[in-house]
């Protein structure tokens, strides 16, 4: 079981867009076991396409979302100008 966890972890870290069926075929195991390893044991979740760790990195912790004041938007397009502050 520990070897399966290590193999799955290596596969995800090597190629973040790996699919469950590719992992299933490589390990010759079930979808449920792969799902349990990925989500429960390794703590990965799917965000858009690549697999990412659930916990933020130190860079993500220090990066804050910055929003301009409510009056600083384009009144013609009604779009807010949002950006990431460094």
In sequence order, what are the beta bridge partners of 85?
Answer: 64
pLDDT at position 2 is 84
pLDDT at position 17 is 86
Rounded to 5°, the CA angle 12-18-21 comes to: 115
pTM of the complete model: 0.54
pLDDT at position 81 is 45
pLDDT at position 16 is 85
State which residues of the chain have pLDDT below 70: 47-50, 52-54, 56, 63-86
Q: How far apart are CA 31 and CA 20, in angstroms?
A: 7
Which residues fall within 8 angstroms of residue 38, CB to CB, at 6 or more apart? 8, 12, 20, 23, 44, 51
């Amino acid at each position: 079981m520990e070897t399966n966890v290590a193999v799955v972890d290596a596969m995800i870290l090597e190629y973040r867009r790996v699919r469950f069926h590719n992992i299933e075929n490589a390990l010759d195991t079930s979808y449920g076991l792969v799902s349990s390893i990925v989500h429960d044991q390794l703590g990965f979740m799917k965000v858009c396409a690549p697999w990412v760790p659930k916990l933020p990195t130190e860079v993500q912790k220090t990066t804050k979302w910055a929003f301009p004041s409510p009056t600083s938007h384009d009144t013609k397009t009604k779009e807010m100008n949002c950006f990431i502050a460094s």
